Amino acid sequence: MKCPHCKSKLSFSSIKKSLRRPQPCNECEEGYLLTLSMSRMLLLILPVAFSLVMIRPISLHWGIPPSIFTALIVVLYGLSCLTLVKRSIR
């Protein structure tokens, strides 16, 4: 993921830390915070719900437990809703 201020790449460990409190960017030293984007959640809820319904017969057809696909879709949904926002550290 990229810094919302200067677009430089951020390390995974510092992004993880920004879940709890804002972290400074290494390049521009501006603060950012990892959060869930509500607008993206609403935008994706329909295709996600649709694919959850559709994946069941397909996975049964392939002989793969549908729960594997369900978990995968939910994880991907959660990850794609994550976004970095500008947040001052002080």
- The residues of the shown chain that bind Zn ion, judged by CB under 5 A, are 3, 5-6, 25, 27-28
User: Which CB atom, from 23 or from 69, has the smaller least distance to Zn ion?
Assistant: 23
Instruction: Give min distance, CB of 5 to Zn ion, in A.
Output: 4
User: Which CB atom, from 14 or from 70, has the smaller least distance to Zn ion?
Assistant: 14
Q: Is 67 exposed, middle or buried (0-12, 13-18, 19+ CB in 10 A)?
A: exposed
Dist CA 62 CA 56 (whole Å): 10
User: Which CB atom, from 25 or from 33, has the smaller least distance to Zn ion?
Assistant: 25
User: Which two three-digit tokens encode residue 18?
Assistant: 């920004």
Instruction: Give min distance, CB of 89 to Zn ion, in A.
Output: 12
Distances (CA, A) of 37 to 58, 69, 71, 86: 30, 23, 20, 13
Instruction: Give min distance, CB of 25 to Zn ion, in A.
Output: 3
